[in-house]
Amino acid sequence: MSATPPPPPAGYNGYAAQPPLSPQDEKLWSTLTHVLGIFFGWISALIIFLVFKDRGPFIKQHSTAELNFQITVVLAYVAATVLAVVTFGILSILFFPIWVVQIVFGILAAVKSNQGQPYEYPLAIKFIK
């Protein structure tokens, strides 16, 4: 005779809930999401967003802002590529200001998050709320 285990509780998805991050850890990961966004773009922002979004409100705000900004940067690069192809390379100069904006705003956001302050990118389209 085999005993069947009891059903899982409602809302259980097979994973243990992660404890919230300490304020210092939230500041650390928030700063890292902006710094890594400068070097690795949207992929690092997506990974940090998915891993830490439920671990605290501060990291959720910063990782969401970074992911939205990096998606906007990707769209700007796509638009610059199309314009460069259409103009036979004349408008390929547009890649430089996009790159500069990505670095400058990433540094500003990293400094604000390290100070424990919220930051919203001024040019980011809000794809994720």
Kindly state the average pLDDT of the residues 97-124. 95
Question: pLDDT digits over 3-40, tens only?
Answer: 787 776 766 666 667 888 888 999 999 999 999 999 99
C-alpha 38/C-alpha 104 separation (Å) is 9
C-alpha 106/C-alpha 86 separation (Å) is 30
Q: What is the DSSP letter of 106?
A: H
What is the chain's percent helix, strand, coil content, to nearest 5?
A: 65, 0, 35
* pLDDT for 1: 55
* pLDDT for 18: 80
Kindly state the average pLDDT of the residues 63-87. 97
Question: Considering the chain, what is the average pLDDT of its residues?
Answer: 91
- Assigned token pair, 39: 């070097």
Question: pLDDT digits over 100-113, tens only?
Answer: 999 999 999 999 99
Q: Where are the domains of the chain?
A: 44-129
* pLDDT above 90 coverage of the chain, percent: 81
